[in-house]
Amino acid sequence: MSSLNLDDFTDLIERPDGGVRRDAEARRERQIVPPGSLGRLDDLGEWLSAAQSAVPVRPIERPRVVLFAGDHGVAELGVSAGPAGGAHQLVREVLEGGRPVSVLARRLGVPVRIVDMALDCDPDTLPAEVVRHRVRRGSGRIDLEDALTLEEAEAAFRAGVAVADEEADSGTDLVVLGDVSVGGTTPAGVLIAALCGTDASVVTGRGGLAIDDLAWMRKCAAIRDALRRARPVLGDQLQLLATVGGADLAAITGFLLQSAVRKMPVILDGVVTAACALVAQRIAFRAPDWWLAAHDSGEPGQAKALDRMALEPLLSHGVTVGEGAGALLALPLVQAAAALSAELPEKPQASGVPEKDEPGDESAEDVDTKEETA
């Protein structure tokens, strides 16, 4: 039996400040560019104001990419174009600056943090700050066995909560969230199918490296078999993550919930983060108000999850590589929305037009005149 009470998040998570959002909308109506003429940038600026409880909105000055990493036993079935157990190589390439997310982060001046939760490699081969939260070496093969024990799932979830606290305490004002995994889109598909009550074929995509038709059929079968194991534990979200998730997915779920508790906005990347967000929404229904969907990755499971959470992607560039790259592409858009909201001047007040008196603002002279007339 877990000692973690997930119901606490329902009480701890508040929505972004609605009153502040109304103030931001009113300020937007006074600016020189007509309301609505900036499209979604208007909504983004107002959302940021509400999240920050600030009008005008503050600029996004300390964003950070946070990537949770892990290997998945189900990759042994050939459901991914990457080699089973090969996520550690992707992590090294990110650290060495050779992955798309590394290039984008370097160009945008955003630091990247990688958190190893279940990589299938010797921890001594990676920096200590990467591996210090690791729960186990690889997650179980979910079509046949649990991904984690309940204790491991709780440890991974708590690690995600701790990472969120570390980021909030360090002054991070927005997180670009992603994953580095091999086989991770398969448990993501299981979670989405289970929580949306749909079939495996509806959520099975081709992953970040575009698997062929045979691999897609193997992946669909794996999701179908894992879905049978998921349905009996749908009422217990931690047990669900233990049964058909993985250490990285459990950590991302904890991270998302604690980020909402700490009022730290998050940009979601692809189908893995969307699946974890769906689990987190099941735990605390107000949590999605703190998240943005960065882009449409083309994964059917992601589209299903985002639709269920009423999150509309900001971009649609067909980026499937994962690792936070698509989410990082959306960051300049969010920063632009903040700048426009804060820096556009207000319309000058028309000269020669007296301000309208508010009720009850009559001067003593006006009152005397009225009394004499009477």
Residue 350: DSSP 8-state:
P
Q: How far is CA 40 from the centre of its chain?
A: 18
| Distance of alpha carbon 228 from the chain centroid | 27
Where the chain has pLDDT below 70, the residues are: 1-2, 208-209, 350-374
pTM to 2 decimal places:
0.91
Q: Which of 139, 161, 169 is nearest to 152 (CA)?
A: 139
Annotation says 362 is catalytic: no
What 3-state DSSP class applies to 361?
A: coil
256: which residues sit within 8 A by CB, 6+ positions away? 160, 164, 177, 266, 273, 276, 277, 280, 287, 291
Class of domain 63-330: alpha beta
Q: Which residue bears the tokens 């603002």? A: 361
Looking at residue 348, what is its pLDDT?
Answer: 85
Res 359: pLDDT: 45
Q: Give the DSSP H or E segment for 181.
A: strand 174-182
Task: Give me the pLDDT at residue 364, please.
Answer: 45
Residue 69 is which amino acid?
Answer: A
Cα 52 from chain centre: 17
Residues 135, 247 contacting (CB under 8 angstroms): yes
> How is the chain split into domains, by residue range?
9-56+342-373, 63-330
Q: At what angle do helices 247-261 and 185-196 cross, to 10 degrees?
A: 60
> How far apart, in Å, do the first and last CA atoms of the chain sit?
82
At 347 the pLDDT is 87
Q: Domain 9-56+342-373, what fold? A: 1.10.1610
Confidence at residue 358, expressed as pLDDT on a 0 to 100 scale? 43
What gap in Å lies between CA 78 and CA 211, rounded to an integer? 9
d(CA 248, CA 116): 8
Tell me the C-alpha distance between 153 and 147, whole Å: 9
Distance CA 319, CA 316 (A): 8
Q: Which one from 25, 151, 323, 372 is the annotated catalytic residue?
A: 323
DSSP label of 124: G
Q: Do domains 9-56+342-373 and 63-330 have the same CATH topology?
A: no
What is the structure's pLDDT at 258? 98
344-to-106, 315, 335 alpha-carbon distances in Å: 29, 24, 14
- For residues 268 and 219, give the distance between their C-alpha atoms in angstroms, rounded to a whole number: 23
Going by their DSSP bridges, the two strands 112-118 and 63-71 should be labelled as: parallel
